[in-house]
Structure 1
């Protein structure tokens, strides 16, 4: 993209100009302090700015990645209504994903689902309001390789994935099993989405 003087504001283009990045997510809650404390622990984050009804939380060089707005009249989450399914956070390696899992577990934050989707190895959690959070590591070295898997017969048969035990995966890493082998999805055939509303 050129300088402002070089931009043709009348050019409709072949598609809408894409954003450069996804900046942040804002959550409304009736459990303000509990939610703020959870996200600080969950993300290893810090508060960029906060008061008694709003908190801007970051864990990297962005000024905030999650904002929490406290509105006391907010009702409980309904699992049968439309809306955001989950927010996903990527880790640089399988070991980092599992270290964060262990550190969260030590702070009383346990996962609700561990699944190898194929493109990612993922561990899901719920925040105090019941919002779903995915922590993941990419299983392929390139986007093309991930897309190739997503266009395979295996993914067509099972786009959900295969469950795994995080503690067993940690033990295999300690035993020296290579990451590439641990990230390879075990094919178990067709399956439906699990009912995470009860977890």
Structure 2
């Protein structure tokens, strides 16, 4: 900002101004109605605007977080092509993450992978087109603590994480095990990506 609160458009600084937030993701699909139904269920969302080829879906204060565009002739996803790997959605608590998992499971949306990455405890899903979706809870109370873990020896040894069973985690919560203990990653040594990625 220049003097008197005016923006100095000639001061290009040392880096580009970062956005304030990530607003939405738009997905092209050949399975339009199936994808709309999936995302409404998956997100517990509503359609802000929709017609027979476009749908704007929200689940919070933003007018849309996911937009779907049905384009005739769109072929199936090619899993080995370059592009977006997944979209991640954060939950405020471990219990909220696991309740949403149970609710999705009851609606026929099973998880594809449950893993404690270290910085997050994450449950992954696939939409009808094969796009990967991550639901997560932060495992650390501060960014500094998460960064410290990510620059430490355990994350360098295994940046992928340790798989877990969501039902076992729910039982541990019911048994009174503190969230802090459940969010702590079990160290298993080096590992690569799962074979089905």
TM class, shorter-length: over 0.9
CA distance in 2, matches of 1:176, 1:148: 28
CA distance in 2, matches of 1:99, 1:2: 49
Alignment of 1:114-193 (within 5 A): 114-193=114-193
- Asked if 1 retains the 8 angstrom alpha-carbon contact of 2:90 and 2:135, the reply is yes
Q: What is the total number of aligned residue pairs between the two structures? A: 197
Q: Which residue of 2 aligns with 1:24?
A: 24
User: Cα distance, 1:72 vs. partner?
Assistant: 2.0
- Asked if 2 retains the 8 angstrom alpha-carbon contact of 1:34 and 1:128, the reply is yes
CA distance in 2, matches of 1:148, 1:181: 18
Q: Which residue of 2 aligns with 1:65?
A: 65
Instruction: Note closer, same or farther for the CA distance 1:67–1:119 as it changes in structure 2 (3 Å cut).
Output: same
- Asked if 2 retains the 8 angstrom alpha-carbon contact of 1:112 and 1:196, the reply is no
- Asked if 1 retains the 8 angstrom alpha-carbon contact of 2:97 and 2:136, the reply is yes
Q: Once superposed, which parts of structure 1, at least 4 consecutive aligned residues long, lie more than 4 Å away?
A: 1-5
TM-score between both structures, scaled by the size of structure 1: 0.97
CA distance in 2, matches of 1:98, 1:141: 19
Q: Which residue of 2 aligns with 1:88?
A: 88
Matched residue SS, 1:124: strand
Write out per-residue CA displacement over residues 72-107 of structure 1, whole angstroms, 9 at most, x where no aligned residue: 200000111000000000000000000000000000
TM-score between both structures, scaled by the size of structure 2: 0.98
Segments of 5+ residues of structure 2 without an aligned counterpart are none
Write out per-residue CA displacement over residues 134-192 of structure 1, whole angstroms, 9 at most, x where no aligned residue: 00000000000000000010000000000000000000000000000000000000001
Matched residue SS, 1:196: coil
User: Cα distance, 1:118 vs. partner?
Assistant: 0.1
User: Cα distance, 1:14 vs. partner?
Assistant: 1.3
Q: Which residue of 2 aligns with 1:11?
A: 11
Alignment pair present for 1:110 and 2:110: yes
CA distance in 1, matches of 2:2, 2:59: 31
Q: Which residue of 1 aligns with 2:34?
A: 34
RMSD between aligned alpha carbons?
Answer: 1.3
CA distance in 2, matches of 1:55, 1:196: 30
